[in-house]
Amino acid sequence: MITGFVNASREAIIEVLVRGPNQQEYKIEAIIDTGFNGSISLPPRIVDSLDLPFRRRGRAILANGGETIFDIYETIVTWDGQSRRVVVDEADPDPLVGMEVLHGAEMKVQAIEDGDVIII
């Protein structure tokens, strides 16, 4: 089980441990974004500090209809106590957790400030 909270901006937040190829670790607070069908997005400063391996470039259509091109990396996350290799989209400003990582899980969100977020 993964737990988190709803912040004052009404965002569901969870902590995720990400690991670089040299075993360096970074604990992030990530926003759960059900409109993001990828795995995780991280800002460039975290990608750089973990020295994540580059895989390819990606392209996405944004909610406002605009298009963006971004770099794609790879990392290991600790998800519900298990290590998982996931794709990372490099994007500012805040880390996001997308539906690819949540796939197969059940999520409950108490949609009030300081409400509970539970993923099972």
- Determine the residue type at 53: P
Whether 92 has a pLDDT exceeding 90, the answer reads no
Dist. CA 105–CA 69, nearest whole Å:
29
Tell me, yes or no, if the pTM score tops 0.85: yes
Q: Is residue 86 assigned to a domain? A: yes
CA–CA separation, 94 and 7 (whole Å): 14
Residue 43 lies in a domain: yes
Cβ atoms of 17 and 77 within 8 Å: the answer is yes
pLDDT for 61: 83
| Residue pair 101/76 in contact by the 8 Å Cβ criterion | no
Evaluate whether residue 9 is within a structural domain.
Answer: no
Instruction: Report the CATH number that the domain containing residue 35 is assigned in CATH.
Output: 2.40.70.10
Q: What mean pLDDT, rounded, does the chain reach?
A: 95
Domain that holds residue 58: 17-103
Is residue 52 situated within a structural domain?
Answer: yes
Residue 86 neighbours by CB distance under 10 Å = 19
Q: For the segment 41-88, what is each residue's pLDDT rounded down to a tens digit?
A: 999 999 999 999 999 999 988 889 999 999 999 999 999 999 999 999
Q: Is 36 within 8 Å of 5 (Cβ atoms)?
A: no
Residue 1 lies in a domain: no
Q: How many domains does the chain have?
A: 1
Question: What pLDDT shows up at residue 32?
Answer: 98
Q: What is the pLDDT of residue 60?
A: 86
| Residue 33 counted as domain residue | yes
